[in-house]
Structure 1
Amino acid sequence: MPHEDDAPLGLRERKKRATRVALSQATIGLCIQRGWDNVTVEDIAAAANVSVRTFRNYFSSKAEAIAAGHLERMLRIADELRDRPDAEPLWDSIVHAVQSQFAAGDAAAAAGGGSAHDRRWQDGLRLMLAEPALQGEVVKANAAAQDELAKAIAERTGTDATRDLYPKLVAAVVSAGSAVAVEHCLRADSPTPLGPVLTEVFEQLARGLPVP
């Protein structure tokens, strides 16, 4: 029987998660628009309509806030994977889950769409991701993201996310494949939509990466 406090705790957790997302998005947006060195915690708090203290309650730095965006996206992919039909092949479910998150509006902005504004956004995102201060936080966020994704994969496949190799391997492949697709789009000579690149990446993975 569910505990009487489950719903309130669930609501509080959803609100905390929403606040983390808002702060992360505000940090990313400001750093892309203004440049890394021209954004302060005070700027971020004002953009997110919260106090500086609230920001500090969630993140210790701009870098941690930005990396949290990656973790949140992977958490949503794990949630989406759990919601896919049980009878659906695993890799079909993974493709749907990844596409639903990366190929949404924020990913379209990240990949660029052809206008001068999109190109500036793409260039700003590339510069932001190259910041040395961000690298360590991204590594930590990616490790946490893979752990959560492995749990969702283990649930679908009847394996153990701690003891078995398979869910951890698939989670690592999904993470790497997604990162390669984003990097490919960001470094393309002309703005390249992310959705088709993600589809190609996971089609090749599902086929076992045949030699071209």
Structure 2
Amino acid sequence: MSPADETRPAERSGLRERKKRETRVALSQAAIRLCVLHGWADVTVDQIAAEANVSVRTFRNYFTGKAEAIAASHLERMHRVADDLLARPAGEPLWDSLLHAVLGQFVPRGNSTPQNDRWREGVRLMLAEPALAGEIVKANAAAQQELAEAVARRTGTDAAHDMYPKLVAAVVAAGSAVAVEHNLRAEGPVPLGVALAQVFEQLAAGLPVP
């Protein structure tokens, strides 16, 4: 067997996993888009599958329902935050790296999401849906664990035994949630990027009393 033959199974496996991840993201984004625009109660799994151009059976292979599908976007986004954190320059201060990583995923360049009053109201109503709360909690726990492992690698600590990486991950998750909430609910909405920058500036400063 040639070296090329030996690498092909790994390449195929990597391609399959990438396609699975892309399908999960497409289904999750379709669920969010439809529920924000049309309301939670008026969106079905059949509609989500059609929006993502896959079968209902494919949807069921990935998610148990639309709540799990929506929550998956949070986990995927934090997965990319962890990846971005590890890709930042080694000598960069940790909180600067975290801010860049979070901004890159929460406020991506070229984002075409319609951030108007109707969209923000739709997001608020969707996030208030009781059926979604439990899935968000589960996704957030998994996201924090993954981010803690990235922080541990970045700082030379141990995610299994040291509190520091877990604390940083928890603070990043909470701070990001506060920024999103402020963006959605503030009168005269504050751009999400501005809100995130303000949150991380205060965190990096040790949350001084105003």
- TM-score range relative to shorter protein: over 0.9
1:87 aligns with 91
CA distance in 2, matches of 1:28, 1:132: 15
Give unpaired runs (5+ residues) of structure 1. Answer: 113-117
TM-score (norm 2): 0.93
User: Any conservation in 2 of the 1:109–1:122 contact (CA below 8 Å)?
Assistant: no
1:39 aligned to 38, 43, 55, which one?
43
2:186 aligns with 188
How many pairs are equivalent?
A: 205
SS at match of 2:159: coil
Q: Do residues 60 (structure 1) and 64 (structure 2) align?
A: yes
CA distance in 1, matches of 2:130, 2:110: 23
Structure 1 stretch 156-165 or stretch 48-57: which is displaced more? 156-165
User: Any conservation in 2 of the 1:82–1:156 contact (CA below 8 Å)?
Assistant: yes
2:105 aligns with 101
Which amino acid in 2 is paired with 1:192? V
CA distance in 2, matches of 1:127, 1:144: 24
Q: What are the superposed Cα offsets for residues 25-51 of structure 1, whole Å, 9 maximum, x if unpaired?
A: 000000011100000000000000000
CA distance in 2, matches of 1:141, 1:168: 15
CA distance in 1, matches of 2:40, 2:172: 29
Query: Runs of 4+ in structure 1 displaced over 3 angstroms?
Result: 105-110
Give unpaired runs (5+ residues) of structure 2. Answer: none
Which amino acid in 1 is paired with 2:107? A
Q: What are the superposed Cα offsets for residues 177-211 of structure 1, whole Å, 9 maximum, x if unpaired?
A: 00000001111122321001100000000000000
Percent same amino acid at aligned positions? 68
CA distance in 2, matches of 1:76, 1:156: 15
User: Any conservation in 2 of the 1:185–1:192 contact (CA below 8 Å)?
Assistant: yes
* Distance change in 2, residues 1:61/1:105 (3 Å): farther
TM-score (norm 1): 0.93
Structure 1 stretch 187-196 or stretch 79-88: which is displaced more? 187-196
Q: Do residues 73 (structure 1) and 38 (structure 2) align?
A: no
CA distance in 2, matches of 1:46, 1:108: 21
